[in-house]
């Protein structure tokens, strides 16, 4: 029976259809009949296509079995063996020996050897676990044949790939390669198996980009190969060094893109807790440290470190492999870490740099983040927790003497900070776990990193700023982590190197846009305050750059508009108003920043006025204002030359507009280049461009916020069409509409009133159910009071709503409303250019409202005159000139009724209130007279002489009487408004007697035992403020042109100014004069 089975296996032929070499499976059975199996007649089989190339070790020529006959016999044998269950091997000994014969195992045809390998795999399954009846010296031949056929896996498009994959799965299932332990040299066979599996795994990368199905097949192949190798290497007492070298080489950078990397990670992850950890540690230590000369750690006589025997390329590759092994399983490099710790202080800077980069990457790696291999445990403690000394050594490298080492440590610190930020962003924040060690290490490195902003190398300063900004911008956790050092790092916006300044400004703006912009849009005042220093920093830098002509002014304006104000985003009017409120409020909290903000807004207002003046002339002429010098024979359209005066006005307007360009605020700026672009703008005859500019630069623009983005896009398109992109910074500065529009003002007024804007209430946010915080309302009040100086057109339509606060009980509201309305009234007539105002004040309640506001504002003695002048500017918002004149007359009548008081009773305590009322009346009368003089309205002349006589009477009395000095200052303003040239020169600016200009002198020393109160009481002597105030009033009279300029007046004024600026006078007098 045994001979019959063997003969059937070797001589049986296929009847009917023949299987192709590409389809092998248990469901594909060849139909065989007894007649054909016994050698009956049959149709000659068709010629087969060879599988692969004929390689290997072919048998001698005399013993070669014909290919077709061998394939038919092996196919029949394979299908018979495939149907045979394990353990039924009683009659298959001869079959096994026949399949293992040299005639088949070493056949010249590759497909014959493939089918013989498949048959042998089935024989191994059937004979398991006892093993096949094959001589021990032939086992190596069988295994070598297996490896030869598995090499077909390296060609996924080959004919034998499916057969080889089936063979691989069968050998993995039955652990067929465990036969190698019967060989005399199993180590060589292990190396061959590892090499073959790596070649097969690399086929995925060589095939290029795979489809989803191809990726699944590659993953299946990788898993099967890993299972096969794991079964072999786990049984080995010692993994051959050559095999370890092959596996580690796959993790190096030159093989990093290979598909075999995944196989190696799977394999080493499975072997880490078995037999691979110790040999891999020894192998790495040998490669990294035994290849280094002992002398490389010493120094030559000249102090320079000797070169290592390990090349830099080899060192970098090995360290990359160490990192990959640590990511797979920390135990694989546990014995390498102490040596790396020592190498962080190596005298060789190249080695120190390379090890610094490796250690920082290992410290940043988090197995909990889901990047570890499936075989590795998710509970691995982080390296910062197990080796805290590495953190200290890395911290030292941030201050290394070598620039390359510091830069590498900087990059590594960036990775650690990013990893710590991700941990802080996790829902379950680490407290007692090993993750807290990484956060602590990140904070330690963060504090050391802040010192690098003062590094002597500007490249490292630049990179340190970029690192801090990148981490802070990445997430909320990153911002929380970096917030303690962010202000210090971004202060390098004032660095001496231009690229560091620009990087700091850009980083701060992007950081604000990432975190604070959304908070302001949602009205979250407290959350937005964490980054309130960014607008302050940008405005302070703006002031410094502009005053010092350091450049970057146009970039700062762009950053502020795009990232701080969100001008490029599509926002509702209420959110735009909140964003502007956040920027203004933040910048106003710092003195230097407030100066820069005022400078920025003033430059924007002046540029808008200059462009409006130029547009007025250009659109009126409908032709270029400046003649093109090249026009002539080549001109397509003849044009009449402009009149000399008209062209001079055009050139002056164009140059005035050009002087407002932010690009000129640079020491290296070339004005002639800017004028070339301005002449190109003037030569444009596209009416669409001029209409678009006129529409967007109109201070009283009526377009809504929703339309602004489309209007700006169209303007940008027109500028690009006409190649005027170089003028973008100048035109950006000239646009007031990008900052504030009329439909955004109601949102600010609502916040001032303590309610949310209507658009935000509709969103249904729970946080908006409560009223805005008082700080937000106060910020809105301050902003509404100040911004009409720069955006009067936006507030012009809302004057009635602002005027409601004139009679409010809160004193700050009344002062803010008076200030805002005065700014609007001062600029509204010029904005409207003779046309009617879009909104006016109601004359009926205005008189009482102004008196109420003046009663509050005049409580501040120093600002009484200014408050009265503001009240007269509000009068300009009445609907007609008659109503304005009538209101001025009523105010003057009130001043007349309250003026006049007995100066002899000045020192009476009960007369203090009457003196204050009299002083306020004189200030108000002076303001009305100044207002009438500026209007030059002769139809309603006001009587000036009685007021001038009243002023002279007050000034003649009360010398050196402290209680009368405020009313005397009011009389000085009144005399400057109502008096003549002689009054100002002989009375107001008369040479002051010595008693009028008492110096400020320290009083005699007071003993300490008399107490601090007595010391404070007698600290300084009183001085007369009238001389300085009189000089200011005279200057104001000259400025408005109410008195003619004369030599006598100038001489008297110069003497008074010099006396007021003397060293023994208080400094605030000089500040008032300069203002």
Query: In this predicted model, what pLDDT tens digit does every residue of 533-585 receive, in sequence order?
Result: 999 999 999 999 999 999 999 999 999 999 999 987 888 999 999 999 999 99
Taking the CA atoms of 223, 229, 230 and 232 in sequence, report the sign of the dihedral they define: positive
Q: Which is more confident, 640 or 749? A: 749
Query: What is the band of 263 on the pLDDT scale with cuts at 50, 70, 90?
Result: confident
Indicate whether 635 pLDDT > 60.
Answer: no
Q: Which two tokens stand for residue 658?
A: 């050009």
Indicate whether 316 pLDDT > 60.
Answer: yes
- In the chain, what percentage of residues exceed pLDDT 90? 37
The CA–CA distances, whole Å, from 620 to 624, 656, 689, 868, 889 equal 10, 18, 15, 40, 40
Q: Which range is least confidently modeled, 383-387, 523-527, 832-836, 895-899?
A: 832-836
Cα gap 225→197, rounded to integer Å: 6
Q: Which is more confident, 258 or 1056? A: 1056
- The alpha-carbon radius of gyration of the chain (Å, integer) is 46
- Kindly give the interhelix angle for 388-397 and 349-364, rounded to the nearest 10 degrees: 130
Torsion of CA 547, 552, 557, 560, to 10 degrees: -110
pLDDT at 211: 66
Q: Which is more confident, 459 or 201? A: 459
Q: Which range is least confidently modeled, 12-16, 403-407, 706-710, 906-910?
A: 12-16
Closest CA to 174 of 108, 119, 125: 125
Answer yes or no: are the C-beta atoms of 47 and 67 closer than 8 Å. Answer: no
Report the 3 state secondary structure along 309-377.
Answer: CCCHHHHHHHHHHHHHHHHHCHHHHCCCHHHHHHHCCCCCHHHHHHHHHHHHHHHHCCHHHCCCCCCCC
Average pLDDT for residues 390-415, to the nearest whole number?
Answer: 94
Indicate whether 192 pLDDT > 50.
Answer: yes
Q: Residues with Cβ < 8 Å from 982, sequence gap 6 or more?
A: none
Indicate whether 54 pLDDT > 60.
Answer: no
Average pLDDT for residues 327-341, to the nearest whole number?
Answer: 91
Closest CA to 616 of 683, 531, 693: 693
Answer yes or no: are the C-beta atoms of 501 and 552 closer than 8 Å. Answer: yes
940-976 residue pLDDT tens: 566 788 888 888 888 877 665 666 778 888 888 888 8
427-455 residue pLDDT tens: 555 444 667 889 999 999 999 999 999 99
Indicate whether 310 pLDDT > 90.
Answer: no
Cα gap 365→381, rounded to integer Å: 11
Query: What is the band of 159 on the pLDDT scale with cuts at 50, 70, 90?
Result: confident
- In the chain, what percentage of residues exceed pLDDT 70? 80
Q: Which two tokens stand for residue 276?
A: 């691979």
pLDDT at 473: 93
Cα gap 508→491, rounded to integer Å: 10
DSSP code of 514?
I
Answer yes or no: are the C-beta atoms of 493 and 508 closer than 8 Å. Answer: yes
Q: What predicted TM-score, i.e. pTM, was given to this entire model?
A: 0.80
In degrees and rounded to multiples of 5, residue 666 shows phi and psi of -145, 140
Q: Which is more confident, 875 or 24? A: 875
pLDDT at 665: 92
Indicate whether 377 pLDDT > 50.
Answer: no
Cα gap 263→282, rounded to integer Å: 22
Cα gap 722→680, rounded to integer Å: 9
pLDDT at 953: 83
Query: What is the band of 1069 on the pLDDT scale with cuts at 50, 70, 90?
Result: low
In degrees and rounded to multiples of 5, residue 642 shows phi and psi of -75, 155
Count of C-beta atoms within a 10 Å radius of residue 92:
25
Indicate whether 496 pLDDT > 70.
Answer: yes
Cα gap 509→557, rounded to integer Å: 11
Indicate whether 121 pLDDT > 80.
Answer: yes
Average pLDDT for residues 364-376, to the nearest whole number?
Answer: 54
Peptide bond into 129 cis (omega under 30): yes
Query: What is the band of 632 on the pLDDT scale with cuts at 50, 70, 90?
Result: very low
Count of C-beta atoms within a 10 Å radius of residue 831:
17
pLDDT at 902: 62
Average pLDDT for residues 455-461, to the nearest whole number?
Answer: 94
Indicate whether 400 pLDDT > 90.
Answer: yes
Cα gap 788→695, rounded to integer Å: 20
Q: Which two tokens stand for residue 443?
A: 């904070």
Q: Which is more confident, 104 or 40? A: 104
Indicate whether 22 pLDDT > 90.
Answer: no
- The terminus-to-terminus CA distance of the chain in angstroms comes to 123
The CA–CA distances, whole Å, from 984 to 160, 258, 974, 1058 equal 113, 94, 11, 17
pLDDT at 1014: 47
Average pLDDT for residues 203-228, to the nearest whole number?
Answer: 74
Query: What is the band of 485 on the pLDDT scale with cuts at 50, 70, 90?
Result: very high
> Of the segments 275-284, 300-309, 592-601, 798-807, which one has the largest average pLDDT value?
592-601
Indicate whether 10 pLDDT > 80.
Answer: no
pLDDT at 942: 62
pLDDT, mean over the chain: 81
Taking the CA atoms of 1046, 1051, 1055 and 1060 in sequence, report the sign of the dihedral they define: positive
pLDDT at 983: 83
Indicate whether 1020 pLDDT > 80.
Answer: no
DSSP 847-883: HHHHHHHHHHHTTSGGGHHHHHHHHHHHGGGSSSHHH
């Amino acid at each position: 029976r045994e001979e019959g089975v063997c003969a059937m296996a070797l001589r049986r032929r296929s009847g009917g259809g023949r299987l192709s070499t590409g389809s092998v499976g248990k469901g594909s059975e060849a139909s065989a009949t007894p007649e054909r199996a016994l050698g009956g007649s049959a149709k000659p089989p068709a010629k087969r296509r060879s599988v692969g190339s004929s390689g290997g070790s072919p048998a001698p020529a005399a013993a070669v079995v014909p290919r077709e006959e061998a394939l038919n016999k092996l196919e029949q044998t394979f299908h018979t063996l495939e149907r045979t269950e394990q353990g039924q091997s009683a009659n298959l000994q001869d079959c096994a020996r026949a399949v293992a014969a040299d005639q088949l195992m070493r056949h010249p045809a590759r497909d014959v050897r493939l089918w013989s390998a498949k048959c042998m795999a089935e024989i191994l399954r059937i004979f398991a676990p006892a093993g096949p009846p094959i001589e021990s010296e032939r086992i190596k031949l069988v295994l070598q044949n297996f490896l030869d056929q598995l090499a077909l896996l390296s060609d996924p498009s080959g004919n034998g790939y499916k057969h080889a994959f089936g063979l691989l799965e069968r050998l993995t299932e039955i652990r067929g390669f465990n036969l190698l332990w019967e060989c005399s040299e199993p180590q060589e066979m292990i190396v061959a198996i590892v090499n073959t599996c790596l070649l097969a795994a690399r086929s995925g990368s060589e095939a290029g980009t795979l489809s989803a199905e191809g990726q699944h097949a590659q993953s299946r192949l990788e898993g099967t190969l890993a299972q096969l190798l794991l079964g072999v290497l786990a049984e080995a007492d010692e993994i051959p060094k050559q095999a370890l070298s092959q596996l580690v080489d796959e993790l190096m950078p030159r093989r990093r893109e290979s598909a075999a990397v995944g196989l190696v990670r799977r394999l080493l992850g499975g072997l880490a807790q078995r037999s691979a950890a110790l040999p891999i540690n020894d192998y790495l230590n040998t490669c990294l440290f035994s290849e280094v000369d002992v002398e490389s750690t010493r120094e030559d006589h000249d102090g320079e470190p000797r070169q290592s025997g390990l090349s830099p390329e080899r060192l970098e590759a090995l360290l990359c492999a160490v990192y990959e092994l640590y990511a797979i399983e920390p135990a694989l490099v546990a014995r390498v870490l102490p040596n790396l710790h020592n190498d962080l202080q190596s005298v060789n800077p190249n080695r120190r740099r390379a090890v610094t980069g490796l250690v920082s990457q290992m410290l940043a790696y988090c197995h909990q983040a889901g990047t570890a291999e499936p075989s590795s445990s998710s509970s691995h403690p982080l390296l910062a927790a197990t080796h805290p000394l590495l953190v200290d050594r890395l911290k030292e490298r941030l201050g290394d003497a070598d620039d390359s080492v510091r830069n590498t440590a900087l990059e590594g610190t960036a990775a650690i900070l990013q990893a710590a930020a991700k941990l802080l962003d996790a829902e379950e924040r680490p407290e007692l776990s090993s993750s807290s060690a990484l956060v602590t290490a990140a904070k330690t490195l963060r504090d050391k990193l802040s010192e690098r902003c003062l590094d002597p190398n500007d490249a490292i300063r630049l990179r340190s700023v970029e690192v801090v900004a990148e981490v802070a911008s990445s997430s909320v956790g990153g911002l929380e982590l970096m917030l303690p050092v962010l202000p210090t790092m971004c202060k390098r916006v004032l660095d001496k190197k231009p690229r560091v300044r620009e990087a700091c400004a850009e980083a701060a703006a992007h950081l604000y846009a990432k975190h604070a912009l959304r908070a302001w849009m949602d009205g979250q005042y407290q959350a937005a305050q964490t980054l309130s220093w960014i607008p302050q920093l940008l405005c302070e830098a703006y002031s410094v750059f502009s005053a010092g002509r350091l450049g970057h002014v146009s970039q700062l304006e762009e950053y502020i508009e795009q990232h701080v104000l969100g001008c490029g985003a599509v926002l509702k009017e209420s959110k735009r108003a909140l964003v502007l409120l956040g920027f203004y409020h933040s910048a106003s909290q710092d003195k230097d920043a407030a100066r820069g903000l005022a400078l920025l807004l003033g430059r924007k207002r002046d540029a808008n006025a200059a462009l409006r003046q130029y547009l007025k002339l250009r659109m009126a002429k409908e032709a270029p204002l400046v003649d093109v010098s090249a026009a002539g024979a080549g001109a397509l359209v003849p044009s009449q030359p402009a009149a000399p005066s008209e062209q001079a006005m055009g050139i002056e307007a164009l140059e005035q507009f050009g002087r407002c360009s932010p690009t000129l605020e640079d020491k290296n700026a070339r004005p002639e280049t800017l004028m070339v672009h301005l002449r190109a703008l003037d030569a444009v005859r596209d009416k669409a461009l001029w209409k678009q500019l006129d529409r967007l630069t109109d201070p009283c623009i009526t377009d809504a916020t929703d339309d602004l983005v489309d209007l700006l896009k169209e303007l940008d398109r027109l500028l690009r069409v006409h190649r005027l992109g170089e003028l973008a910074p100048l035109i950006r500065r000239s646009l007031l509409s990008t900052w504030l529009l009329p439909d955004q003002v109601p949102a600010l007024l609502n916040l001032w009133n303590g309610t949310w804007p209507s658009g935000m209430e509709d969103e249904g946010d729970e946080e908006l159910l409560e009223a805005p915080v008082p700080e937000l309302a106060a910020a809105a009040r301050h902003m509404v009071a100040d911004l009409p100086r720069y955006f009067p057109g936006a507030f012009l339509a809302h004057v009635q709503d602002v005027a409601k606060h004139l009679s409010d009980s809160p004193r700050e509201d009344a002062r803010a409303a008076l200030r805002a309305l005065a700014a609007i009234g001062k600029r509204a007539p010029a904005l409207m250019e003779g046309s009617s105002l879009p909104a006016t004040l109601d004359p009926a309640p205005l008189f009482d409202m102004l008196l109420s506001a003046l009663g509050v504002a005049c409580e501040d003695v120093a600002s009484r005159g200014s408050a009265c002048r503001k009240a007269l500017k509000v009068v300009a918002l009445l609907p007609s000139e008659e109503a304005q004149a009538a209101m001025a007359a009523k105010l003057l009548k009130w001043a007349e009724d309250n003026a006049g008081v007995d100066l002899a009773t000045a020192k009476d305590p009960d007369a203090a209130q009457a003196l204050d009322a009299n002083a306020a009346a004189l200030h108000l009368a002076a303001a009305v007279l100044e207002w009438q003089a500026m209007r030059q309205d002769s139809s309603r002349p006001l009587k000036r002489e009685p007021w001038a006589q009243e002023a002279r009477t007050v000034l003649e009395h009360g010398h050196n009487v402290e209680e009368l000095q405020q009313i005397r200052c009011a009389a000085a303003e009144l005399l400057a408004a109502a008096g003549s040239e002689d009054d100002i020169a002989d009375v107001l600016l008369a040479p002051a007697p010595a008693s009028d200009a008492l110096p400020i002198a320290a009083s005699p020393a007071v003993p300490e035992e008399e107490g601090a109160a007595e010391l404070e009481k007698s600290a300084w002597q009183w001085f007369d403020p009238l001389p300085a105030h009189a000089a200011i009033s005279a200057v104001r009279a000259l400025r408005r042109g109410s008195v003619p300029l004369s030599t006598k007046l100038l001489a008297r004024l110069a003497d008074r100014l010099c006396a007021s600026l003397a060293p023994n006078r208080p400094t605030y007098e000089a500040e008032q004069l300069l203002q």
